């Protein structure tokens, strides 16, 4: 029997995620073009991201039958088993026979026919226990971190550190949020035509909901906004609401000279450019030429002609003779605030990398501050929820920096307030230390951190 389009796409994407270190969301975007039926696109996305989110639990269930590690299997066999097990455990509307048989066909199509009997036998046994609560299958007396790591499919080291910092309830809420499909949020780039644009999206078959944080944000479901005329015309952009919010903290004024470091993929630059206006100067920098080319195409779609693109390494001395009124540094980070959107990160990240990111971020922030004009403001942000990459970076740089201090949280809140949705208060988005934070499980956004620094 032929393999369904959705399962074939999911299998190919998962294979490339594992073999090439690619991101599933990027691969799905490339694979799920207009020629793929919406139902197939939805199932391919569910299978791909579901398998990545639930990998630890799936492997635990599979290894109870295999009596060995899934990692010891050939990759195509491991993926076929995970895809089958995910359907049996989480997708009750799919007939078990279809889930088992198509996984068998997947290994055959990958020229691993010798593994077909194994896949068939293991998945049939998984099907028999599909309704049994996973909690009942765990060994007794497991430590809490290990138990939660299996049940919620996260690395145990990650769960341990969150338990120690956040406590049980907040950690469980975070783990649960990481395993829910991300809200597909968009930014409205032409507020004056809001009603017209949203009606056109609904006419195209999308369901539209208001933003939770920002008045010019909205969420869509039931289709891909990137396939709409509104997207092609630059009227909307796809962007998490917390990601949309952090550039507003910079408080850019018309005519400001603005530097956006580590700007790719360019989602935050447009807000800076619109605030600076035609009289301002906005430089968007990144170290990778191919990402700058992608940004140029993005800015063309949005009608942003005035942004200057510069290729540079932000860990090295910056090549600018004049200072900047505003600097935005959205630093490379672990991405632990985006594990629902990018679930593969949880399996790639190693605990020692947090120190590596910290050192990189300290170099970037210190170098950027050297180019902040007197009276200027810098916003440092990450999509990480780890203190090593956030408040520890800011504190270390401030200890070494002269004439630089934290900007008052009230000023950041004032800069953000005009952009918030009705009923949302800026003060609720700042912690007691005056730093902007969002946390999955507490808001329908990615986890973001931002701190503002100013020169005297």
Each of the 456 residues of the chain gets a pLDDT tens digit; together they read 678 999 999 999 999 999 999 999 999 989 988 789 989 999 999 999 999 999 999 999 999 999 899 999 999 999 999 999 999 999 999 999 999 999 999 999 999 999 999 999 999 999 999 989 999 999 999 999 999 999 999 999 999 999 999 999 999 999 999 999 999 999 999 999 999 999 999 999 999 999 999 999 999 998 889 889 999 999 999 999 999 999 999 999 999 999 999 999 999 999 999 999 999 999 999 999 999 999 999 999 999 989 999 999 999 999 999 999 999 999 999 999 999 999 999 999 999 999 999 999 999 999 999 999 999 999 999 999 999 999 999 999 999 988 899 999 999 999 999 999 999 999 899 999 899 999 998 878 999 999 999 998
CATH at 421: 3.40.50.150
- Say whether 186 is catalytic: no
> How far, in Å, CA of 372 to CA of 362, rounded?
16
Domain check: are 214 and 261 in the same one? no
- CA nearest to 149, candidates 141, 160, 139, 140: 160
Q: What CATH number does the domain containing 122 carry?
A: 1.10.940.10
Same domain, 291 and 389: yes
Tokens of 218: 């909205």
210's torsion region: left (phi>0), alpha (psi -120 to 50) or beta? beta
Do 124 and 159 belong together in one domain?
Answer: no
How high is the pLDDT of residue 35? 87
Answer yes or no: do 77 and 189 share one domain.
Answer: no
Catalytic residue (one of 186, 262, 333, 383): 383
CATH of the domain at 205: 3.30.70.1170
My answer on whether 310 and 388 are in the same domain is: yes
The pLDDT value given to residue 441? 82
pLDDT of residue 1: 62
Question: Which are the contacts of 313, defined by CB distance < 8 A and separation ≥ 6?
Answer: 287
Residue 114 sits in the same domain as residue 148: no
Is 430 in the same domain as 357? yes
Are 56 and 76 in a shared domain?
yes
Give the pLDDT score at 344: 98
396 and 338, same structural domain?
Answer: yes
- Together in a domain, 309 and 425: yes
- Report the pLDDT value the prediction gives residue 263, as an integer from 0 to 100: 96
pTM for this one?
Answer: 0.94
**Domains of the chain: total:** 4
| Burial track 114-124 (b if 16+ CB lie within 10 A, e otherwise) | ebbebbbebbe
The residue among 108, 137, 166 that closes a domain is 137
The per-residue pLDDT for 443 is 78
**Same domain membership, residue 234 and residue 221:** yes
Determine phi and psi for 235, rounding to 5 degrees.
-80, -25
- Domain span at residue 161 reads 143-179
Q: Of 266, 303, 257, which Cα lies nearest the Cα of 285?
A: 266
Same-domain check for residues 226 and 321: no
Residue 13: CA count within 13 A, CB half-sphere: 29
């Amino acid at each position: 029997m032929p393999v369904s389009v959705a399962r074939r796409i999911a299998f190919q994407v998962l294979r490339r995620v594992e073999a090439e270190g690619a991101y599933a969301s990027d691969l799905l975007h490339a694979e799920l073009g207009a020629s793929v039926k919406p139902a197939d696109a939805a199932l391919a996305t569910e299978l791909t991201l579901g398998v990545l989110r639930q990998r630890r639990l799936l492997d635990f269930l599979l290894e109870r039958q295999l009596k060995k590690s899934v990692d010891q299997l050939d990759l195509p066999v491991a993926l076929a088993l995970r895809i089958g097990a995910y359907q049996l455990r989480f997708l009750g509307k799919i007939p078990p026979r279809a889930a088992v048989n198509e996984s068998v066909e997947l290994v055959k199509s990958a020229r691993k026919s010798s593994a077909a009997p194994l896949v068939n036998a293991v998945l049939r046994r998984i099907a028999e226990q599909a309704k049994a609560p996973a909690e009942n299958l765990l060994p007794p007396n497991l430590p809490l971190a290990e138990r939660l790591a299996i049940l919620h499919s996260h690395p145990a080291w990650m769960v341990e550190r969150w338990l120690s910092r956040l406590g049980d309830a907040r950690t469980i809420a975070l783990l649960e949020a990481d395993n829910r499909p991300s809200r597909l949020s968009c930014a409205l780039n032409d507020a004056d035509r809001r009603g017209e644009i949203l009606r056109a999206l609904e006419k195209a078959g999308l369901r539209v909901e208001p933003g939770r944080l920002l008045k010019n944000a909205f969420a869509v479901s039931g289709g891909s906004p990137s396939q709409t005329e509104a997207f092609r015309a630059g009227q909307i952009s796809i962007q998490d609401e917390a990601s949309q919010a952090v550039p507003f903290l910079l408080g850019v004024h018309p005519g400001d000279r603005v530097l956006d470091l580590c700007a790719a993929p360019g989602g935050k630059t447009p807000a800076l450019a619109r605030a600076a206006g035609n009289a301002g100067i906005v430089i968007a920098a990144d170290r990778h030429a191919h990402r700058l080319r992608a940004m140029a195409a993005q800015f063309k779609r949005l009608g942003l002609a005035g942004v200057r693109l510069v290729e540079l390494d932000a860990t090295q001395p910056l090549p600018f003779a004049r200072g900047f009124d505003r600097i935005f540094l959205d630093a490379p980070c672990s991405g632990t605030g985006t594990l629902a959107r990018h679930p593969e990160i949880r399996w790639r990240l190693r605990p020692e990398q947090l120190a590596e990111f910290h050192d990189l971020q300290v170099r970037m922030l210190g170098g950027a501050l050297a180019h902040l004009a007197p009276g200027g403001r810098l916003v440092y942000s990450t999509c990480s929820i780890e203190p090593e990459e956030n408040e520890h970076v800011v504190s270390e740089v401030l200890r070494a920096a002269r004439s630089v201090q934290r900007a008052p949280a009230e000023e950041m809140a004032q800069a953000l307030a005009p952009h918030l949705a009705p009923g949302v208060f800026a003060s609720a988005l700042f912690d007691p230390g005056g730093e902007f934070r969002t946390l999955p499980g507490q808001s329908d956004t990615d986890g973001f951190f931002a701190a503002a620094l100013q020169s005297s």
